[in-house]
Amino acid sequence: MDHQTYKSWILNDELLSGEDETQLEEHLAECRECAELKANLYTALQMVRSAPQIAAPPDFTQRFTASLAARKREEEKRQARALTLALSSSALVIAFGAILIFLPEISLISLATGCVSTLLRIFEIVQATASFVSGFVKNANPSSLVTVFVVVGGWIVLASLTLALSVWKLAIKKVGINS
């Protein structure tokens, strides 16, 4: 019989038959290694058995429950804060994304629409004016045409004079301020 068998017998001494136990006792008397193992095991078992049972303080359960509840509340608060942060940040991200995705498109569309409608309006005005002028020129007799030209020419001259006068006034004013 080798050491390993005796060692396993030492560790499981409750399962040994009377015959095996006698055999083990004989081996233990001869083998120091196995005897030491048995002694150490016995000491360890004795230490475990004789360890004093430490009673929990009377209010231990109460305090433990209270601290557990407090920790749970703290955890819930922390989770709520994390959830709020996550929700608000994701809402912010979504809003920002929506702005990025939709706003340029909207502004581009409205800008394009505005440009197109403005161009169309200008085109309409030009067309109307042209048709009016051409119609007037076609239908009017030469004398009224001359009158119109004179009136329009007079207006242009007047406007030019007014413009020149205001520019001149402005120039004078500027010189006056500078000197």
Interacting residue ranges for Zn ion, rule: CB under 5 A? 3, 6, 31, 33-34
Nearest to Zn ion of 5, 148 (CB atom)? 5
Neighbouring C-alpha atoms within 13 Å toward the C-beta of 3: 9
In angstroms, give the least distance from the CB of 41 to Zn ion: 14
In angstroms, give the least distance from the CB of 15 to Zn ion: 18
Nearest to Zn ion of 27, 148 (CB atom)? 27
Nearest to Zn ion of 7, 148 (CB atom)? 7
In angstroms, give the least distance from the CB of 64 to Zn ion: 48
In angstroms, give the least distance from the CB of 79 to Zn ion: 60
In angstroms, give the least distance from the CB of 34 to Zn ion: 3
Please count the other Cβ atoms lying within 10 Å of the Cβ belonging to residue 69: 10
- Give the whole-angstrom CA distance, residue 6 versus residue 12: 10
Nearest to Zn ion of 33, 74 (CB atom)? 33
- Give the whole-angstrom CA distance, residue 69 versus residue 87: 26
Tell me if 140 sits within 8 A of 149, measured CB to CB.
no
Tell me if 10 sits within 8 A of 34, measured CB to CB.
yes
- Give the whole-angstrom CA distance, residue 9 versus residue 17: 10
Nearest to Zn ion of 25, 76 (CB atom)? 25
- Give the whole-angstrom CA distance, residue 145 versus residue 151: 10
Tokens of 133: 């002028």
